[in-house]
Amino acid sequence: MLQNSNEFKHFQRMTMTPTVEGKKNVVIMGRKTWFSIPAQNRPLKNRVNVVLSRELKQPPPGAHYLASDFSEALCLLDTTDLAKEVDQVWIIGGISLYPLLTPYVAKGESNHPDWP
């Protein structure tokens, strides 16, 4: 996940802080990313947590929503009561999601460790 406390603080600030008062941000992640988060830190607080998985049949414990793919997640965010609550949508991993998202992304933010 994130390699140092500065990256983690930046990640939290960006994903937790909506630009519209009274709304929430959404974090979308794959199943492996969800389970890579220590159990005591799931769900990511003050954000709506959406897990993508073709294998799971219900949201994993702590997750707010489950979608089988990114299109389903967008429909969920667009057609439910959630649409009125959502400000920004953040895709936080895994790596296999990123190539699928190019048509949908308006702005990208990349965090990665400094390699020696």
Greater confidence, 97 or 29? 29
Give CA–CA dist 79/110, Å, rounded. 29
- The pLDDT, as a whole number, for residue 110 is 56
* CA atoms within 13 Å, Cβ hemisphere of 102: 3
With CA atoms as reference, report the closest residue to 51 among 62, 3, 111: 62
pTM of the model: 0.84
CATH architecture for the domain at 5-101: 3-Layer(aba) Sandwich (3.40)
pLDDT at residue 55, rounded to an integer: 96
For 75-90, the pLDDT digits (tens) are: 998 887 888 999 999 9
- How far, in Å, CA of 32 to CA of 98, rounded? 14
What is the distance, to the nearest Å, from the Cα of residue 9 to the centroid of all Cα atoms in its chain? 16
Q: Where are the domains of the chain?
A: 5-101
Instruction: Look at phi and psi of residue 46 and say left if phi exceeds 0, alpha if psi is from -120 to 50, else beta.
Output: left
What percentage of the chain has pLDDT greater than the value 90? 60
